[in-house]
Amino acid sequence: MTDFATTKSMFHLPEGVLYLDGNSLGPLPKSAANHVKDMMQDEWGQMLITGWNKAGWMGMPTGLGDRIGRLIGAEAGSVVVGDTLSIKVYQAVASALELNPTRRVVLSDNGNFPSDLYMADGLLRSLGPDYELRVVDPQDVAAHVTEEVAVLMLTEVDYRSGRMHDMRALTEQAHAKGVVTVWDLAHSAGAIPVDLSGCNADFAVGCTYKYLNGGPGAPAFIYVAPRLSDRVRPALSGWLGHEAPFAFDLDYRPGTGIERMRVGTPPVIQMAALSAAMDIWDMADMTDVRAKSIELTELFIARVEATCPGLTLASPRNAALRGSQVSFHFDEGYAAMQALIARGVIGDFRAPDIMRFGFTPLYVDEGDVEQAAEILADIITNKLWDKPEYKIRQRVT
């Protein structure tokens, strides 16, 4: 059993703050500062460039990839860390398209994270006017999986509402029509149990700064099913994805398996911070995390609906159909969230009217939920959000 009291003690949580925004940026693991300091002083400082060999920097992307892979049901050696999530989306979609060379349609939904749609659209525009990004309502995806589609690109958990797609069913349906799948796990990894291998997924991508607590700007990851990893051509053929990077061959030859999906130099300092976070995740079982997440989200919904009649649930009511977040519609949601933050309850806002709260059992418990709901009720009941300073939109919401 996962000891959540112990994991909570391993994070730096500022006094007086109830942090319900780990679905956007996870808090600092207490050991991360020393991890980074040791890397900088003992490795970079003392080893200089020899750290690539002596400290094992070159192997960090796949080493961390395997640790993340345990949380997402990936086979050993099928996940690599590096670059940004947008870069990994581009890589996955480009490689997936080449596996279906006679088709021209990428299918997605309007609940997908906009950056995924932007990257796919930019790629397809570069490929020519015959290519199409087809965007439908989330509930209509299954009906649009046809033999015309080359790639199905979906985010498993909707970033606004927490609504979940059925990865297993949609992947099976896609494969029956000859469609290659790309799953974005940005709001899944560390939030819900994922079984990429069992679902027979083709590609998956995700970030590490949300539930995985790697820190702001932490690198992304990409998964390629082992049955495909020696077939796919990386459109972004960076030198570290080369079969022999230090041969300095002027002709690109892709590396073996997941190594070919590496692009640029690994961000070693950021990976040191991520490694500290993964030390905590190594202590967690995703089945336990999911069970506790459901308890926390159910409790929050019950408390808010009992005390805040002006808020309307935006997330699926059935816990089995939502991720580890709860969202509510409220016309003055932005101002109310600023008022909450001023009282030490940190969630976030998503346009046009969604107040969003993340529940991460590694450091959020029932007492936090009860207190947060009580403060929210005070703000809503007494209209404490109705102040000019709370209505000024900041750059990050």
Spatial CA neighbour of 343 closest among 378, 309, 369, 311 = 378
Are the C-beta atoms of 351 and 397 separated by less than 8 Å?
yes
Distance CA 85, CA 103 (A): 25
Active site residue 262: no
Distance CA 196, CA 189 (A): 11
* Dihedral angle over CA of 226, 228, 229, 231, nearest 10: 150
Distance CA 5, CA 10 (A): 9
Angle at the Cα of 195 (from 360 to 59), degrees rounded to 5? 80
Phi, psi of 285, rounded to the nearest 5 degrees: -110, 130
Active-site residue, selected from the candidate residues 113, 131, 328, 330: 113
Query: Is the torsion defined by CA of 229, 154, 159, 2 positive or negative?
Result: negative
Active-site residue, selected from the candidate residues 19, 159, 203, 209: 209
Active site residue 67: no
Beta strands 79-81 and 221-224: pairing type? antiparallel
Active-site residue, selected from the candidate residues 66, 116, 158, 184: 184
Say what angle helices 333-342 and 366-381 make with each other, to 10 degrees. Answer: 120
CB atoms < 10 A from the CB of 33, how many? 13
Active-site residue, selected from the candidate residues 67, 210, 262, 292: 210
Active site residue 113: yes
Active-site residue, selected from the candidate residues 4, 11, 356, 359: 356
Identify the residue whose tokens are 């073996």. 256
- Annotated catalytic residues are 113, 184, 209-210, 356
